[in-house]
Structure 1
Amino acid sequence: MHTIWKGSISFGLVNFPIKLHAATENNDIKLRQLHKECHSPISYQKVCPICDKEVQSEDIVKAYEYTKNKFVVLDEEELEKLKKEQEDKAVEIIDFVKLEEIDPIYFERSYFMAPDANGGKAYALLRKALQESGKIGVAKIMIRSKEQLAVVRVYKEALLMEIIHFPDEVRHVQDVPNLPKEDTVVKKELDTALMLVDQLTTVFDPEKYTDEYRTALMELIEEKKTANAGISPTEKQPISPSNASDLMAALQASLDKTTKKKPTTRKKAAAKKNA
């Protein structure tokens, strides 16, 4: 597994080195966008709308827009300094709570925690303590230039770090429009709904759920590949000397045609005088 973060974690006076590995992956099928005419992949450019030109990476700075079209520019050195100050801190478990006290809306992403060199014994100690207490640890960690709130829990034989949202990142339910009132529910309808829930109640087995759209899409792609329906971009044709001559001839002909259509200023004046 690829290591996405390396550091240490502590609870109380116990500190040990760890590595984080992504516990989940995105298996969405990625579709490219092609030019319909020649089937070349579409590229995207960073363009300045004022200067009307493409901007290179070295000419881009980061800034915070604190009001419409008003920015505070932040230097890379300043950002790196803040990032370094936070990354140098060990991840500290600051609280222990029960898992059921955290609503699932807070959970964002999961990472497997692996002990680094000489961290196995302390790793096993924390895992056992969490198992015996039935608690999870709450901690903070700096990942990819952002401070994250996290919980540490046991998942099978491993410790799992779950990145969770800060409270101000969860929107207020009061902002959801058109929520119906509870008193609109009819008892007979509720009894029927509860019977349906009871009939469909089972033990959760993740293996029974599959992405049917992704499966169907892959089948369609394989069918097209088998039928030799694959395409390649049209290669860009270099301008040969003969092509260049033809091009110049066409341009000159267009110029001559335009010139003939438009009388010169002197001819216009003469025409007016004779009139």
Structure 2
Amino acid sequence: MHTMWKGTISFGLVNIPVKMHAATENKDIKLRQLHKECQSPIKYERTCPNCDREVKNDEIVKAYEYGKDKFVILDEEDLEALKKEQADKAVEIVDFVKLEEIDPIYFEKSYFLSPNEGGGKAYGLLRSALKDTSKIGIAKMIIRSKEQLAVIRVYENTLIVETIHYPDEVRQVKDVPNIPEESNTAKKELDTAKMLIEQLTTTFEPEKYNDDYRTALLELIEAKKNNEDVVIGENKPSTTDDNVTNLMDALEASLDKAKKNKPKPKPAKPKTTKSKKKVAK
């Protein structure tokens, strides 16, 4: 597994040398753009609209736009010095909290942590302490020139870092348009909705969820490669009948469908009673 970062995790006076590895990967299928006439890949060039010419990499500088067409130029040397100053700092756990206190909207990306040379004992100590206390650590760290707020927790016997958003990076819910202030749901509709939720409730098994679009796209690509006839499947029928016109009808139809599709529980095995042996007096 590729190491993308090396550093130390510290809490109190305990320092743990660690390596960081990406815990997830993007499985999206990337498609190229070609010129239809000759099927050559399209190139994208960096051009200056003012000079009307292509710009080379060594002619490009970074800047911050603080107003319309007003920029502050940032020298590469200043950025590198700032980056090094922050990167040299150890990742320090500043607080310990309960995982359920953090809303999922804050979570961003996951990374595995493995102990670096000489860090095995301290790594195991932190892992055991987090397990036994059911707590997670809140820390700050630098990843790709950005200071990240992060969570350090245990996942299947491995320490994992979850980068999380800062509060000012999460937009305010009051800015979401058209949210109804009060619910005027009828009791019968609410009771039926609760019954539907109960019928569809199950144990989370991530293995049973698949990316159907990616699978179909890969099959299409393979068929095209082999010059096979391609037949795109018809759309699946909707979950409710076309004549469902109101919310209550939709709920009842969905509930009926859920009851039909829900697997029947396995019959319990009959209990066997052991006969007691009579003890002769």
Note the C-alpha offset of 1:227. 1.2
Partner of 1:131: 131
Counterpart Cα distance in 1 of 2:228 and 2:53: 41
Partner of 2:121: 121
Note the C-alpha offset of 1:180. 1.8
Deviations 1:143-172 (A, max 9, x none): 100000000000011000000000000000
Q: Which runs of 5+ in 1 are unaligned?
A: 230-275
> Is structure 2 residue 25 aligned with structure 1 residue 22?
no
Partner of 2:167: 167
Q: Structure 2 counterpart of 1:2, which letter? A: H
Partner-residue secondary structure (3-state), 1:227 = coil
Partner of 1:13: 13
Partner of 1:35: 35
Counterpart Cα distance in 1 of 2:182 and 2:190: 11
Partner of 2:111: 111
Partner of 2:266: none
Q: What pairs with 1:216-227 in structure 2 (closer than 5 Å)? A: 216-227=216-227
Q: What pairs with 1:91-102 in structure 2 (closer than 5 Å)? A: 91-102=91-102
Deviations 1:56-114 (A, max 9, x none): 11000000000000000000000000000000000000000000000000000000001
Report the CA distance shift for 1:47/1:228 in structure 2 as closer, same or farther (over 3 A): farther
Partner of 2:154: 154
Partner-residue secondary structure (3-state), 2:207 = helix
Q: What pairs with 1:80-95 in structure 2 (closer than 5 Å)? A: 80-95=80-95
Instruction: Say which one has the larger Rg.
Output: 1
- Report the structure, 1 or 2, having the larger helix content: 1
Partner of 1:51: 51
CA RMSD of aligned residues (A): 1.0
Deviations 1:113-163 (A, max 9, x none): 010000000000000000000000000000100000000000011000000
Q: Structure 2 counterpart of 1:137, which letter? A: G
Note the C-alpha offset of 1:228. 7.3
TM-score (norm 1): 0.82
Counterpart Cα distance in 2 of 1:86 and 1:30: 34
Counterpart Cα distance in 1 of 2:33 and 2:98: 47
Report the CA distance shift for 1:228/1:56 in structure 2 as closer, same or farther (over 3 A): farther
Note the C-alpha offset of 1:4. 1.0
Q: Structure 2 counterpart of 1:129, which letter? A: A
Counterpart Cα distance in 2 of 1:159 and 1:185: 45
Q: Structure 2 counterpart of 1:107, which letter? A: F
Counterpart Cα distance in 2 of 1:86 and 1:189: 55
Partner-residue secondary structure (3-state), 2:217 = helix
Partner of 2:244: none
Counterpart Cα distance in 1 of 2:225 and 2:36: 19
TM-score (norm 2): 0.80
Partner-residue secondary structure (3-state), 1:63 = strand
Q: Structure 2 counterpart of 1:175, which letter? A: D
Counterpart Cα distance in 1 of 2:141 and 2:187: 48
Deviations 1:39-61 (A, max 9, x none): 00011000000000000110000
Partner of 2:145: 145
Partner-residue secondary structure (3-state), 2:4 = strand
Counterpart Cα distance in 2 of 1:56 and 1:147: 30
Counterpart Cα distance in 1 of 2:177 and 2:61: 38
Partner-residue secondary structure (3-state), 2:5 = strand
Q: Which runs of 5+ in 2 are unaligned?
A: 230-281
Deviations 1:170-221 (A, max 9, x none): 0000000001233322111111100000000000000010000000000011
Of residues 42-51 and 176-185 in structure 1, the stretch that sits farther from structure 2 once superposed is: 176-185
Aligned length: 229
Q: Structure 2 counterpart of 1:109, which letter? A: K
Partner of 1:211: 211
Counterpart Cα distance in 2 of 1:94 and 1:114: 20
